[in-house]
Amino acid sequence: MTNVQKNRLKDQLFKFWGIACTLIGLVLLVIFIGGILIDGLSRIDWAFITDLPSRKAEKSGIWTPLMGSVWILVLTAIISFPISVAAGVYLEEYAKKNRLSALLEINISNLAGVPSIIYGLLGLEVFVRIMNLGASVLAGALTLSLLILPIIIVATREAIKAVPGSIRDASYALGASKWQTIWNQVLPASSGGILTGVILALSRAVGEAAPLIIVGALAYVPFAPQGPLDQFSVLPIQIFNWISRPQQGFIDNAAAAIIILLLITFIMNGIAVYFRNKWQKKLQ
Amino acid sequence: MESRFISEINGKKNYSNTMSDMMSEKTEDAKTEAPIAEKYKLQTKDVNVFYGDFQAIKDISMNIKPKSITAFIGPSGCGKSTFLRLFNRMNDYIEDFKMEGKIKIDDKNIYKDKIQLEQLRKEVGMVFQKPNPFPKSIFENVAYGLKIQGIKDKKLIADRVEKALVQADLWNEVKDNLSKSALTLSGGQQQRLCIARTLAVEPSIILMDEPTSALDPISTAKIEELIHHLKQYYTIIIVTHNMQQAARISDYTAFFYMGELIEFDKTKKIFTNPEKKRTENYITGRFG
């Protein structure tokens, strides 16, 4: 075999190895989703979505945890978006590059890696006990906001960094102040990237169970929350609760709830991808 | 040195002695031009620029007449762009940037009072090397400079936008598509849009940093024609790597080398009978 042939063979081998590796993830996902669809799909109907929880599996619905998740999602978005975007803009545009900002930067990156249950403990102490919010939707949303702040801050900074310096130069050269430049040029040009980060972070928040369990979200809540200080449950906690029951009926309920939760996160990720593609095209 | 620079920015306004300063400068530079203060639009005196330890500009004094075209030429890294960007203080954003000396526009030291930065840039427009339109509509691009000044009058803005686009010789090509994204224009059109954007603010000086280096010959010719036409209203300073361009369009030419101003004279003189050997070597293509 000549050298060229050997190299071609290696090429081919590596290609198949790569395909195999890619397939592992895909196959696992298909098996997982397939199993859930088989268990859960027949259980999903309009009543399943709008029914309140019940002791009987076939009468149980996901209305309260679904509404709990929606409340959490909206409140978390309202709280985390302005804070983290402002922090990202500050770090990228205003902060001087010195020791302090380097320290801040490392801290934020590290915060993004802190296990979510730790945030739950922090939320329990600060929001539930010290601020006396109780096991409320607001306490849960504040806790999850802490969890996703670093993610959105990092995404905001990346998006701002991607705005070409020439746009800033042009704005300054026309007599714009720093704030005018940020508000009129930098933020609109980076909005797609920021939005993508926000949506991805929220779709992570909507799947979190651990920190909310610690904060005190309950598995059984008779009614959907009416205000930010009401008790609540969320889909992942409901799923966890159902799956730990021995009856097959609840297992099917769990599978059905997983389908709904997956649907929500897939849609959110899809929107994020859409914004990202649109944004990248615009910047080029 | 840095502290002196800052104290100059924040310092009290002592314009009272600027006039006498100017007169003394004049007598020193008397060889080149007659000492009449009104004659110059822009004056620099003993300007030094440092980036950290690196000295980018060495002791440059230069006077530029109103409504003239001055070309800055010289090999890459000679400091001509840095020098140009001093006039609208675009170097202020660079870390470790430090400047000494005086730069006066219409007899006012532009490095004296920090709050005048926005005002200064209204007065001194800039066109960059690569066309850099905002990712917005054509109209928004030209109107931006007016909107950030707080002008709300829609009629006035529309008038100024049209006037600027006409002046930049772009109106006929875009008048039906003002709401289209500026990024859909060709490179040459984008650069003329950037010129229109600058004109809309109604500056008196326009700085151009290699405005045609990213364009094809036809677009370049169009922009050169435009620059020539704009001379009757504006003082134009243009950095260029293209010697023929400098010879074609400028009234005065300044040759920079290693941060120094080697020679500054009428363009005709520089290109036919330069005083310095180095200038001659550069323009005849023997180095650079």
Q: Convert the pLDDT of each residue in B71-101 to its tens digit.
A: 999 998 899 999 999 999 998 888 889 999 9
Asked if A83 and A165 sit in the same domain, the reply is: yes
Tell if the CB–CB gap between B197 and A167 is shorter than 8 Å.
no
> Tokens for A121?
């403990």
Question: Are A77 and A195 found together in one domain?
Answer: yes
- Within a 13 Å sphere around the CA of B130, how many CA atoms are in the beta-carbon half? 8
The answer to whether the beta carbons of residues A54 and A121 sit under 8 Å apart is no
Residue numbers in A near B130 (CB within 8 A) = 166
pLDDT digits (tens, 9 = 90+) for B189-207: 999 999 999 999 999 999 9
CB A51 within 8 A of CB A172: no
Instruction: Determine the topology of domain B2-283 in CATH.
Output: Rossmann fold (3.40.50)
Of A133-142, B33-42, B244-253, which gets the smallest average pLDDT?
A: B33-42
Does the pLDDT value for residue B18 go beyond 50?
no
Output B106 or B254, whichever has higher pLDDT.
B254
pLDDT tens digits, residue range A229-252? 888 889 999 999 888 888 888 888
Q: What is the DSSP string of A200-213?
A: HHHHHHTT--HHHH
Residue A283's pLDDT is 63
* Residue B25 in this model has a pLDDT that exceeds 70: no
Domain count, chain A: 2
Confidence of residue B236 (pLDDT cuts 50, 70, 90): very high
Closest CA to B43 of B59, B70, B29, B63: B63
pLDDT higher at A57 or B260? B260
Statement to judge: residues A221 and A234 lie in one domain = yes
Element (H, E) at B45: strand B42-51
Question: pLDDT class for B114, splitting at 50, 70, 90?
Answer: low
Whole-number pLDDT of residue A53: 80
Burial class (CB in 10 A: 0-12, 13-18, 19+), A282: middle
A169:B128 CB<8 A: yes
CA distance A24 to A29: 9
Contacts of A154 (CB under 8 A, 6+ apart): A88, A108, A109, A112, A197
**Helix (H, G, I), strand (E, B), or coil: what is residue B61?**
strand
Whether residue A258 is found in the same domain as residue A154? yes
Do both A110 and A158 map to the same domain? yes
pLDDT confidence of residue B284: 86
| pLDDT top residue among B40 and B13 | B40
Instruction: Establish if A58 touches chain B: CB-CB under 8 angstroms.
Output: no
Q: Is A170 found in the same domain as A30?
A: no
Are both A224 and A211 inside the same structural domain?
A: yes
Q: Which residues of B touch A (CB under 8 A)?
A: 88, 90, 93, 95, 118-122, 125-126, 128, 130, 132-136, 144-145, 147-149, 194, 197-198, 201
pLDDT confidence of residue A223? 82
Q: How many CB pairs under 8 A join A and B?
A: 65
**Quick one: pLDDT at residue B9?**
40
Token pair 């714009």 is found at A176
Alpha helices in chain A (DSSP H): 3-40, 46-50, 63-89, 99-112, 116-123, 137-161, 165-173, 178-181, 187-205, 210-215, 235-243, 248-283
Is there a single domain that holds both residue A36 and residue A160?
no
Low-confidence ranges of chain A (pLDDT < 70): 282-284
The answer to whether the CB of B287 falls within 8 A of the CB of B247 is no
Q: What is the span of the domain harbouring residue A28?
A: 3-43
**Beta carbons of B263 and B255 less than 8 angstroms apart:** yes
A130: CATH? 1.10.3720.10
pLDDT for position B55: 92
One-letter identity of residue B141: N
Instruction: Mark whether A9 and A98 lie in a shared domain.
Output: no
**Average pLDDT along chain B:** 85
The full set of domain ranges for chain B reads 2-283
